[in-house]
């Protein structure tokens, strides 16, 4: 079932993204407004160059608050070793990769370009939807 469903049908095509030059206060604002826990960092050509999370930003709060030094940009804090999934990946493969790499979400790429994001929630939604269709077909 999940082995025949492609991630492109369930990935988010408009997730939160940043550039390396995004100021950390702008990133915090966007994460809070959009109610997400992280974002993908893209270069000007749309290639994935990093990821940033709430925890990465939290780690800088002491320095910002205590020293009033909030000039850092996302490029200063992002993780640059990023696992990505090709758009042709099945949901089953995506689920396995998310579990193996202990990730809640992963960028999806096509020909090296960022095209979206797949998350644990998206995989669970796909499973639920496919089970509902299966149950209806049983009746």
Q: Please check whether residue 7 is in contact with residue 37, taking contact to mean a CB–CB distance below 8 angstroms.
A: no
Contacts of 114 (CB under 8 A, 6+ apart): 17, 40, 42, 46, 47, 48, 107, 108
Looking up tokens 């999806």 gives 108
pTM: 0.85
The pair of structure tokens assigned to 59 is 């780690």
**Cα–Cα distance, 138 to 7 (Å, whole number):** 25
Q: How many domains does the chain have?
A: 1
Looking up tokens 């994001």 gives 117
Task: Please report which confidence band the pLDDT of residue 136 belongs to, taking 50, 70 and 90 as the band edges.
Answer: low
Residue 63 domain boundaries: 2-138
Average pLDDT of the chain?
88
pLDDT of residue 92: 92
User: What CATH number is attached to the domain comprising 83?
Assistant: 3.10.580.10
What tens digit of pLDDT does each residue of 35-80 get? 999 999 999 999 999 999 998 888 877 766 666 655 788 998 899 9
């Amino acid at each position: 079932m999940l082995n025949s469903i492609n991630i492109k049908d369930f990935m988010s095509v408009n997730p939160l993204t940043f550039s390396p030059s995004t100021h950390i206060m702008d990133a915090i604002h966007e994460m809070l407004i959009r109610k997400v826990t992280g974002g993908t960092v893209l270069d000007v050509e749309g290639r994935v160059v990093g990821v940033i999370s709430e925890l990465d930003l939290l780690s800088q709060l002491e320095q910002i608050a205590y020293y009033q030094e909030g000039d850092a940009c996302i490029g200063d804090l992002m993780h640059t070793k990023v696992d990505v999934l090709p758009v042709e990946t099945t949901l089953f493969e995506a689920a396995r990769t998310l579990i193996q790499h202990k990730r809640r979400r992963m960028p999806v790429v096509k020909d090296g370009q960022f095209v979206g994001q797949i998350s644990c929630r998206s995989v669970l939604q796909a499973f639920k939807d496919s089970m509902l269709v299966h149950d209806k077909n049983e009746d």
